[in-house]
Amino acid sequence: MKVRLLDIAHARSGDKGDTANVGVIAVRPEWYPVIDRALTKERVAAHFRGVITGEVERFTLPNLAALNFLLHGALGGGGTLSLKTDAQGKVFSTAMLRMVIDVPDDEAMRLQLPAAP
Amino acid sequence: MSRIVRVAAGQGFWGDWLDAPRRQVEGGPVDYLMLDYLAEVTMSILQKQKERDPRMGYARDFVGAMESVMTAVADRGVKVIANAGGVNPPACAEAVREVARARGVADRVRIGVVTGDDLLPRLDELLARGHPLANMDTGEPLGSVRDRVLSANAYIGSTPIVEALARGANVVVTGRSTDTALTMAPLRHEFGWGASDWNRLAAGIIAGHIIECGAQCSGGNCLYDWRDIPDLANVGYPIVEGSADGTFVVTKHPGTGGRVSVHTVAEQLVYEMGDPRSYITPDVIADFTTIRIEDVGQDRVRVFGIEGRAPTDKLKVSIAYRAGFKAVGTLVYSWPDALDKAKLADRVLRERMDRMGLRFDEILTEFVGASATHGPLAGTPGDLPEVQLRVGVRGQDRASVERFTRELAPLVLNGPPSVTGFAGGRPKVEEVVAYWPALVDKSVVTTKVEVLA
């Protein structure tokens, strides 16, 4: 089943120099394993291809049902050097949540995941 | 019931809601009001102000905030901790003293002033003594921008604030204290936590991280369930109710809007996070993977389980340096084919600048309404009602940037059609002050505390 990340997670992003951080939090703790499995470093790097110029780092916070990603080379130089509207990386959060993931039907049913429209 | 110490956040950055400090001291019981004014580039702005007038160089908004809370400080024993001192904490303290005098309460206001973070006067000495102050991101030695440095401040921790409180200060003004120390210091002071009580110090730091951005943990900028977060017009700023064991509850005053829940707190916890196992501060390294949060009532989140460990022997240094000039200008193109018109205008503009021989370090074009924030992730739009063309340039030559600002308006008459939105006039040329993060040995930074009677 296709599931929109937007429907099962929320997120906040910010900046550190030219790096954006995106914290992704499962809306329900029991949905954390789904995002933990789907949001691999490779998947996130592919999602942001053409948007960032550097590497992706990935950290897990199972205690908060959250993942943290560092997207390097994301902010056009960062801080005051950047000419971008989103120089502080504030809306990389919702850019991440554009992702649509595949979840096996039985698991999606058991966890009551909302299907993508 | 064990003793609770309440630390209220009243300012998340310089420019935050002017009413928040007063609302925090009037909306219910609080022991400490914590005001955070400093962002990465704020110090350089303040340094420029101090160069023009030696009595300036601190966050002027703080004086207004102190006027609005002075009664609570003088009559009800609320204590204030703020990093509003910027690059001139003594002048900031003097301005607060003026407010107290004008109110006739000077005898009840003891101002603690923390200094020693300002490394600008010591830069050459530090470089000569073999401290490279290399850029943490690029490894470049500071020498390459030394002649353009505007400000240099070490991030200092909770110890001098604790000392000021122990010496009877009820208003503490610092320079570049870490944002989190402003919250941790009063908890450490009240509960007598030792300098190596890592778990409790880490808990205080995380309490600080949660409330340092003001309402951003109490319903502001909260994505989860945003439509149903109540009464943001009357949003309550956050309050930490700390206990001696390091556990705490995040809440807000009754009757205020917004929301405090595991969702709003979790969003703030991941904000500007790096490696969650190592949140490094001058006092302690906090481990965000040990944090436990639970809803314990309406607008009440309990935070517990936090672990920390000994810090490093370095302090982070925030250095600002002049890095050229920039300007950003916009025009709005309307349906039909708004995006195509904006794209043509961008090509025309670039061709003209190219023919004039204008050269920049960077030219960035964005199409606001189509792709400015999510780039290619936004997909291909349909025929949009309007698109804002937004062009920015950055370079070392001020005259070239200035010339760019005169090339946008002509497009209204000599470029593609259906263009509007130029009422604001020419874009402003700004000097770029860039940020240079570095590390320095803790042993070379000595903080000083003065308590004005």
Query: Is the bond into B21 cis (omega within 30 degrees of 0)?
Result: no
B168-179 pLDDT, tens per residue?
999 999 999 999
A98 vs B contacts (CB less than 8 Å): 374, 377
- Nearest residue on chain A to B217, alpha-carbon basis: A12
A2-18 pLDDT, tens per residue?
999 999 999 999 999 99
Domain-located, residue A50 = yes
Question: Out of 3.30.70.2750, 2.60.40.10, 3.40.1410.10, 2.40.240.10, which CATH number does the structure's domain B323-435 have?
Answer: 3.30.70.2750
Contact B374 A59 (CB under 8 A): no
CA distances from B388 to B335, B349, B452 (A): 12, 15, 53
| pLDDT of B367 | 98
Question: Structural domain of residue A19, as residue ranges?
Answer: 2-61+68-73+89-110
Domains of chain B, residue spans: 5-117+155-311, 323-435
- DSSP H helix total and E strand total for chain B: 12, 19
Short-list B375, B294, B266, CA closest to A11: B266
For B173, half-sphere exposure in the C-beta direction (CA atoms, 13 angstrom radius) is 28
pLDDT exceeds cutoff 90 at B95: yes
Domain-located, residue A32 = yes
Domain-located, residue A21 = yes
Residue B88's SS3 state is: coil
Rounded to whole angstroms, the Cα distance separating B150 from B139 reads 20
Average pLDDT over residues B45-71: 95
| pLDDT of B453 | 78
Q: Of A21, A24, A86, which has the smallest distance from its Cβ to B274's Cβ?
A: A21
pLDDT exceeds cutoff 70 at A86: yes
Tokens 């349909």, residue located? B382
Short-list B379, B349, B377, B376, CA closest to B364: B349
CA distances from A9 to A26, A41, B22, B377 (A): 4, 17, 35, 18
B22-44 pLDDT, tens per residue?
999 999 999 999 999 998 778 88
Contacting residues for B261 by C-beta, under 8 A, at least 6 apart: B295, B299, B301
**B138 phi and psi, to 5 degrees?**
-110, -15
Rounded to whole angstroms, the Cα distance separating A84 from B328 reads 9
Short-list B125, B133, B126, B114, CA closest to B176: B114
pLDDT band (50, 70, 90) for residue B425 = confident
B319 close to B435: Cβ distance less than 8 angstroms: yes
Rounded to whole angstroms, the Cα distance separating B308 from B209 reads 14
pLDDT band (50, 70, 90) for residue B422 = confident
Alpha helices in B39-158 (DSSP H): 42-52, 61-76, 89-102, 123-128
CA B270 to chain A, closest CA, distance in angstroms equals: 5
- Nearest residue on chain B to A91, alpha-carbon basis: B373
B366-414 pLDDT, tens per residue?
999 999 999 999 999 999 999 999 999 999 999 999 999 999 999 999 9
Amino acid of residue B127 = L
B122-168 pLDDT, tens per residue?
999 999 999 999 999 999 999 999 999 999 999 999 999 999 999 99
pLDDT > 70 in chain B, percent? 100
How does DSSP assign B378-442, residue by residue? G----S-SEEEEEEEEEES-HHHHHHHHTSSTTHHHHS-SSEE--TT-SPPPEEEEEEEEEEEEG
Using only C-alpha atoms, chain B has a radius of gyration, in whole angstroms, of 24
Q: Of B41, B270, B375, which has the smallest distance from its Cβ to A23's Cβ?
A: B270
| pLDDT of B1 | 54
Strand segments, DSSP code E, in chain A are 2-4, 9-16, 19-26, 56-61, 66-71, 100-102
B317-339 pLDDT, tens per residue?
999 999 999 999 999 999 999 99
Helix B181-191, helix B198-211: angle, nearest 10: 140
Q: Of B270, B373, B433, which has the smallest distance from its Cβ to A12's Cβ?
A: B270
Contact A95 B373 (CB under 8 A): yes
Domain-located, residue A27 = yes
Contacting residues for B386 by C-beta, under 8 A, at least 6 apart: B332, B333, B334, B335, B338, B369
pLDDT exceeds cutoff 60 at B68: yes
Is B139 an 8 Å CB contact of chain A? no
| pLDDT of B314 | 98
Average pLDDT over residues B425-448: 95
pLDDT > 90 in chain B, percent? 96
Short-list B63, B253, B24, B288, CA closest to A66: B288
Is B280 an 8 Å CB contact of chain A? no
| pLDDT of A82 | 95
Chain B, window 310-329: residues with a beta carbon less than 8 angstroms from a chain A beta carbon: 323, 326, 328
pLDDT exceeds cutoff 90 at B424: no
Rounded to whole angstroms, the Cα distance separating B112 from B114 reads 7
Short-list A36, A26, A111, A38, CA closest to A65: A26
Domain-located, residue A83 = no
From the centroid of its chain, how far is CA B205?
A: 16
Our count of domains for chain A comes to 1
Short-list B324, B388, B318, B389, CA closest to B362: B324
A26 forms beta bridges with A9
Chain B, window 8-67: residues with a beta carbon less than 8 angstroms from a chain A beta carbon: 40-41
B336-346 pLDDT, tens per residue?
999 999 999 99
Average pLDDT over residues B75-79: 97
- Torsion sign (Cα): B214, B307, B261, A20: positive
Average pLDDT over residues B97-109: 97
b/e sequence B17-54, b meaning 16+ C-beta within 10 Å: eeebbbbbbebbebbbbbbbbbbbbbbbbbbbbbeeee
This prediction has a pTM of: 0.97
How does DSSP assign B331-349, residue by residue? EEEESSSHHHHHHHHHHHH
For B67, half-sphere exposure in the C-beta direction (CA atoms, 13 angstrom radius) is 11
Tokens 């200008």, residue located? B329
Q: Of A12, A21, A64, which has the smallest distance from its Cβ to B223's Cβ?
A: A12
The mean pLDDT value of chain B amounts to 97
Short-list B262, B345, B340, B334, CA closest to B298: B262
- Torsion sign (Cα): B167, B67, B82, B49: negative
